[in-house]
Amino acid sequence: MLIAIDVGNTNIVIGGFDGDYLIFQARIQTNTHKTSDEYAATISAVLSNYGVDFSTVVDTIISSVVPQVTDALASAMQSLCNRRPFIVGPGTKTGINIRIDDPATLGADLLTDSVAAADQYSLPVIVVDMGTATTISVVDENKAFIGGAIMPGLRLSQEALSDRTAQLPHIDLKYEGKVLGTNTIDCMKSGAIYGTAAMIDGVVMRIEEELGQKCSVVATGGLAQQVCKYARCNAVYDPDLMLKGLLCIYNKNKRR
């Protein structure tokens, strides 16, 4: 079994692959103050809960956007599996040509998403990843990462709105109502969900205009499913995109 781990600013996603099949997926909270021993205990409990026998784990691959967590998590997995994890970073073979001003600054999350999207969707493809930040990445027909956009994530924006206003409460982000809300809560939810969907539609439209061609659109991340059903850009929701990207990268960089 291959253990694939995506370290985000809010959550760490852990997936287990048997060959090309994703057997399980779990989430734990990202905590920059945890030690390697604490991460080892947490991950051991999570994997045991899914019936994972550590003797069957042949390797681990990690993609991380939180440097403070990367080393602690790598040490934790080494102690659990007796092998130092493969960490996505500079020099990693991906099959993607990075054509931005400074390729070394491209986040591991954007790269991993793009690898999976280029492998599984028609090109050019636009990837929308809705996590702590909402990121948009573009891979052209030649499998080149050519740029993107980064904006505050939906939950982050709503927390800022509630924290900085006297009368707007904290809300959940589940909404099935109309665009025109008739009370404060529904107005906030409508603004969050429909507003984000419209933002994505607008950015996708402008990217396609800039490229002069239509693109496939794939969305992933914790809030993507809720938002994409209201978007008009025909985005395909793929909750496992990041883990699929890690599997692709691992297969290109297999260690003996």
Residues assigned a catalytic role? 109
Q: What burial letters (b/e) apply to 37-71, b meaning 16+ CB within 10 Å? A: eebbebbeebbeeeebeeeebebbbbbbbbeebbe
Cβ–Cβ contacts within 10 Å for residue 196, how many? 26
Q: What angle (nearest 5°) sits at the alpha carbon of residue 233, between those of residues 183 and 196?
A: 35
Query: What phi and psi, each to the nearest 5 degrees, are found at residue 2?
Result: -100, 130
Residue with tokens 């001003």, as numbered in its chain = 101
For residue 65, what are the CA distances in angstroms to 12, 18, 105, 127, 133?
10, 25, 11, 17, 12
